[in-house]
Copies of this chain bind each other. A is one copy, B any other.
Amino acid sequence: MTKTDETDPIRHRIMIMSGKGGVGKTTVAVNLALRLVESRKNTGLLDADITGPNIPKMLHIEDELPSADEEMLIPVYLPLGCDHGLSVMSMAFMIEKDAAVPWHGQLRTDFIRQFVEGIRWDWMDALDYLLIDLPPGTGDEPMSIAELMDVDGVIIVTTPQDVALLDTRKAINMARYLEIPVIGIIENMSGFVCPHCGCEIDLFGKGGGERVAKEMGVPFLGSVPLDPLVVRSGDSGIPFVLEINSATARSFEAIVDRMDEVMKGMKSKTPLS
Residues of A within 8 A of B (CB): 19-23, 50-52, 54, 57-58, 98-106, 108-109, 135-141, 143-144, 159, 161-163, 166-167, 169-171, 173-174, 177, 194-197, 199, 201-205, 226, 228, 231-232, 234-235
Q: Are the C-beta atoms of A100 and B234 separated by less than 8 Å?
A: no
**Max count, chain B CB within 10 A of own CB: residue among A51, A136, A167:** A51
User: Which of chain B's residues have a CB closer than 8 A to the CB of A235?
Assistant: 161-163, 205
Question: 5 shortest A-B CB distances, which residue pairs?
Answer: A22-B22, A21-B21, A105-B105, A197-B197, A100-B174
The one of B98, B99, B144, B231 in contact with A203, judged by C-beta atoms closer than 8 angstroms, is B231
Q: Are the C-beta atoms of A54 and B166 separated by less than 8 Å?
A: yes
SS of A interface (majority): loop
Q: Are the C-beta atoms of A171 and B100 separated by less than 8 Å?
A: yes
User: Which of chain B's residues have a CB closer than 8 A to the CB of A51?
Assistant: 137-139, 170
**Shortest CB–CB separation between residue A86 and chain B, in angstroms?**
19
Q: A21-B21, A57-B162, A231-B204 are in contact. Are A170 and B140 (CB under 8 A)?
A: no
The one of B102, B139, B205 in contact with A177, judged by C-beta atoms closer than 8 angstroms, is B102
